[in-house]
Amino acid sequence: MDVKEKVKELVRQAVEAYMSEQGNEEKKPAITVLLNYHSSNPGLILKAVTEIKQSFAVKLVASKDWVELLDGEEDVLPLDQADHLELERLWNSTDLLILPVASFQLVSKLALMVDDDRTAHTAIQFQLLGKPIVIANNEVELGVYQQILAPHSVQEKLQGYLRTTQKDQVKWVPLKQLLRTAKEQHQQYKEKQPLIMAKHIEHAARENLKTITVPKESKITPVAKDTAREMKIEIQKET
């Protein structure tokens, strides 16, 4: 191979390597990371967010205090300034929600489906869309001293709320396991195949819908297909 051919080969390899890097960047799943609650160790939280950004295309939403700590970070959506449409775009365009720090208030609101603030409202909307939620439990996990002193009824109430949210597919894990759990939950979400049943078609008919759009991975039962034909409702899969 002469010098000219060697140069061509090196250029080709460089271009392929560059395109490969760009392709990997584009393939990063889009997720939302929401920072709102106080942390006893904000440095650890910011480190966890940095690690998450290496594996996901992160849409970062933060309260005023966290925005100041994220000084220099690009594309941070201030939570107190975000309007409803901006938040709606988030839960529709991203696959998963991560909260690197939580509070007892959030635990109770998720358990009771109280969406009277933007954080709880966003989390509940992710749930209603069947999207995974992963939350670090460091700030809501009772320490040994608290377990000794806190009334049993208080501890039982907290555990009851946590169990309720876990049944609703919210994953509470230590901060150091946040990224690994997020990857696992995202993989399960992408492999999930929603089942379209006759009751869904009947509900659409009650709303006088002529067309319904379902996730592209959905499986449609034979009875649902028959019901849709009888009621003249078209089932379209997302593209």
pLDDT 10s digits, 69-126:
987 677 899 999 998 899 999 999 999 999 999 999 999 999 999 999 999 999 999 9
The residues that bridge with 237 in the sheet, in sequence order, are 214
Query: Which stretches of the chain are DSSP H helices?
Result: 3-26, 42-55, 64-69, 84-93, 104-112, 118-128, 144-149, 152-167, 178-191, 198-206, 222-230
pLDDT band at 174 (very low <50, low <70, confident <90, very high): very high
**Cα–Cα dist 180/11, whole Å:** 37
Domains of the chain (ranges, CATH numbers): 28-191 (3.40.50.1950), 195-237 (no CATH)
Instruction: Tell which residue, 59, 33, 28, has the closest CA to residue 47.
Output: 33
Q: What is the pLDDT of residue 172?
A: 97
- Whether the pLDDT of residue 166 is over 60: the answer is yes
pLDDT band at 134 (very low <50, low <70, confident <90, very high): very high
Q: What is the pLDDT of residue 109?
A: 97
